[in-house]
Structure 1
């Protein structure tokens, strides 16, 4: 796959100096059938302007630096053309690159909804879609979006796999009410069945709901990355614990043959967990004092026959003096 043209949507140098270096990076892929408004949604988010005409046969890569929830985030967005999605629907490079997906369809075109559904099924089948319990409705309220974005997602029933990429099914062109042909209930049921979030927007009407849409998937990507980072740190902390019988002087109990192996001591587990929770390394706990013992100097009594006879005579004389 050829690399798509890159458009740098970063603010001017003064704004970049204010923002400083980005704390984290989020990569989002916008997928959907030709003419559903993928480019309109993307450019509306980046520039807050609506442009109705775009080239539909060229992938575009956009870069943006935003301030979100007190953090500076670099957002990379790829607007994928329909030609790249044909065949395997979603190219392997896109699946492995993206950390979040927006699957766009037009509420005026049932075929575009079927295409988005096939995309979602493929992402789910290949393990690239978010397997979480979706929201119950697609409210357009910015306050409602923020509340949903802040709510942790629960694993969907029957799915025990770890989510890999937050995914939102997006119905565009809701302003064309008289031309709507995709039933909103059907779209919501599809999202519920496939375990993703569903939203309905209009790129031509409002930039606020488009911004809320992107910020939702960005927050979900960041939450997932941070959760994974925390789990990796916890695994690393436990993997560094000494195992029983490893090396000399480990101070750990060596199990007897046939007894269950004891991997960690309580002291080691507590110290490692304390270091992980506090976010830093604590000063090492001093090792207990090792007392060196020297052999006791004891006098062994002389038990020879001559010695015993002498002691008996001395005892008799003492008894005679006491009796007198």
Structure 2
């Protein structure tokens, strides 16, 4: 288990607890009272830290290396029923964008999402979860396929942004993202979107138009990352914590501003502390949302989708 800077008090108490348990096993000394005392202090410390997280600390948790990624969710939700589909039928297959058919419970879904790597080699292979234009075109191809066969769509967002390289711009990065946003309003099947990690800029919006949009508790969703915002405003990354607060990018900020429909709770400490609970909670949200959306006539669902996004940013003084 890796610990972030603000989690170091937890690390120290867990090490003390492990030493106490080891001492009790290796000797005849009764350490029950000490063990219970440390255990209680550990629980209190966890609650104090995780219930009072700053915006920047939630950004750090969303990037935790032990946090489950898109393929982890797909494996947990679909098991062996997932069939990955490849290619945009134009340039190539983008490894940063995963997509395919799978069953969650008894219902088939087209599942699409960005995939980060788990080590240096796979991060390079997946381009750190930053999709090229062909990734977004693959996603749109799969959504149209789902529409053709009446299969609902689930998108899982976890990206630091679309790939900003020269070759991506040459192949139409901006157009590909804009096309996806436009076409997702017209797709005639229910779309459920979940931010499972980072939701940065157009890279997230390219698969982010949904009838229901959820954020896991310790994720963020914004037009720009705190570091990039800090570098633009203050010419330095040193003010990233201040930028994170100003951007109002946490799940609670987004829910308060009516930009997402609901917050999916995470286990104390984050999704990586109890993956099974996280997967089960996400599964419940997907199935309950689909049960509700499937009862709405398609023309009305599309109209409500458009109206939902049209209202964003509108306010009265």
Give the TM-score, by structure 1 length.
0.31
Give the TM-score, by structure 2 length.
0.32
* Structure ranking higher in helix proportion: 2
